[in-house]
Amino acid sequence: MHHILEPGPLLAEWCAEHGQPAWRARAIRRWLHGGRAESFADMSDLPRGLRADLAAAFTVWSTTVARHHRTEDGTEKLLLQLADGERIECVLLRDGQRRTVCISTQVGCAMGCVFCASGLDGVIRNLSAGEILEQVLRLARLLPGDERLSHVVVMGMGEPLANLDRLLPALAAVQEADGPGISARRITVSTVGLPKAIDRLTAANPGYHLAVSLHAPDDQLRTRLVPVNAAIGLADVMAAADRYWEASGRRLTYEYVLLGGINDSPRQARDLVTVLAGRAALVNVIPYNAVAGLPWKEPTTAAREGFLATLRDAGVNVQVRRRKGARIDAACGQLRRAAAGADSAEPSAASTIVHTIQPTSSTAASTAPRMPPSHPIQ
Ligand code: SAH
């Protein structure tokens, strides 16, 4: 069975082989990408025989919904079980008129950021382009019929630029007018900062909004928090980000997770101002979302406000990302870990489980906790 959401020529070829006109493939895609068809049976303008033939050759969904949580602020999070039993997360965020989806690109993550739940078990595999697109389409179907998605942020599990070959076709499908129709400028790709891959993205399509996870103003601290930095270095990250900025003309965002007593001092704020000097930058200060078992703390209010004031006084644009969805472990990888650790894990009282499936014995084995790699935490 082929996954019909996988971008590529397969559906058009299948249609040609089955004597179907070329527009048929587009019509089918429109039902799935732009419409809300759940199955071929829903495609009411297709001949019945064709619907049956399609259903025999293709599967619409490659995932099942293992959990569906919803909070009072309208944030919804899906824990999706992949065909091989692995699990990933994606989130729908409602903010004013905005309807944003946050999607994953890998099962796990190889970057090893010491405060992030996604990378604690390393990377297991890349998602396919179809699996990436499927997250967007599943979340779009959670909206009422008169609402559409407006934004995509690639800030879920995984390092998007480590899976660029699958991400780019998925994001191309997201932009199609017949599909979700979300323009590049409403798509944000967040990266730990891989210079070669940033350069590839620059060459491929500078239209996306790029967010670079900095988290520290110097190499020593950055390497401690973001171990992959040891082989890269802040200067090369900034230089690649500058090239993206020049090519796209779009202001970049630099993400900075504030960890109490680690990277939140006035001195570090001043150093960050120096690092960003001369750049049209927005700093996205992210309050640390506590991960069970990790030693990091949120900054005190005084430390956070002092850090923000130093940046603002120096003329740096700053925003503090609100913690929508924190109650349902909406930070990367947290729900997946909670679910893998104990499938009976309860979400906090403020969220509702909309839907849960029982794992089969084979899937239970594949989601068993793995040994975390050792991190240079101290
Ligand atoms: N690999 C990409 C996407 C990661 S998720 C990247 O590194 O940018 C998006 C942001 O959330 C990153 O800046 C990441 O460092 C941050 N993040 C990860 N775990 C977090 C946590 N527990 N609390 C707050 N932010 C976190």
pLDDT at 205: 77
Q: How many CB atoms lie within 10 A of CB 53?
A: 16
Q: Is 155 in the pocket of ligand 1 (CB under 6 A)?
A: yes
Tell which CATH classification among 1.10.150.530, 3.30.1360.120, 1.25.40.10, 2.60.40.10 matches the domain 1-60: 1.10.150.530
Q: What is the pLDDT of residues 251-285, one digit of tens each?
A: 999 999 999 999 999 999 999 999 999 998 999 99
Name the residue at shortest CA distance from atom 10 of ligand 1: 155
Q: Is 113 in the pocket of ligand 1 (CB under 6 A)?
A: yes
Q: Is 89 in the pocket of ligand 1 (CB under 6 A)?
A: no
CA of 307 to the centre of ligand 1 (A): 19
Q: What is the pLDDT of residues 97-106, one digit of tens each?
A: 999 999 999 9
Contact 179, 26 (CB under 8 A): no
Q: Is 189 in the pocket of ligand 1 (CB under 6 A)?
A: no
Indicate which atom in ligand 1 lies nearest the CA of residue 156. Answer: 5
CA of 34 to the centre of ligand 1 (A): 30
Q: How far apart (Å, rounded) are the C-alpha atoms in residues 295 and 378?
A: 10
pLDDT at 325: 56
Indicate which atom in ligand 1 lies nearest the CA of residue 255. Answer: 13
Name the residue at shortest CA distance from atom 3 of ligand 1: 155
In this structure, CATH architecture of domain 61-367: Alpha-Beta Barrel (3.20)
Nearest to 94 by CA among 144, 155, 20: 144
Could you give the percent of the chain with pLDDT greater than 70?
A: 85
pLDDT at 321: 77
Contact 281, 253 (CB under 8 A): yes
Residue 362, Cβ density class (10 Å: 0-12 exposed, 13-18 middle, ≥19 buried): exposed
Q: Is 291 in the pocket of ligand 1 (CB under 6 A)?
A: yes
The residues facing 253 across adjacent strands are 211, 282
Pocket-testing residue among 123, 255, 328, ligand 1, by greatest number of atoms within 8 A of Cβ: 255
* Domain limits, the chain: 1-60, 61-367
Decide if 13 is catalytic.
Answer: no
Q: How far apart (Å, rounded) are the C-alpha atoms in residues 188 and 191?
A: 10
Q: How far apart (Å, rounded) are the C-alpha atoms in residues 172 and 199?
A: 18
pTM: 0.90
Q: Which residue has the tokens 């199955």?
A: 39
Query: Stretch 33-39: mean pLDDT, rounded?
Result: 97
pLDDT at 378: 24
pLDDT at 78: 96
The catalytically annotated residue of 89, 131, 134, 159 is 89
Q: Is 167 in the pocket of ligand 1 (CB under 6 A)?
A: no
Q: Name the pairing type of β-strands 87-95 and 98-102.
A: antiparallel
pLDDT at 370: 29
The catalytically annotated residue of 109, 113, 116, 332 is 332
Mean pLDDT score of the chain, rounded to an integer? 88
CA of 79 to the centre of ligand 1 (A): 18
Decide if 332 is catalytic.
Answer: yes
Q: What is the pLDDT of residues 227-256, one digit of tens each?
A: 999 999 999 999 999 999 999 999 999 999
Q: What is the pLDDT of residues 133-182, one digit of tens each?
A: 999 999 999 999 999 999 999 999 999 999 999 999 999 999 999 999 99
Phi, psi of 284, deg, nearest 5: -100, 100
Contacts 24+ apart (CB under 8 A), 232-237: 232/193, 232/194, 232/195, 234/275, 236/195, 237/193, 237/195, 237/212
pLDDT at 358: 35
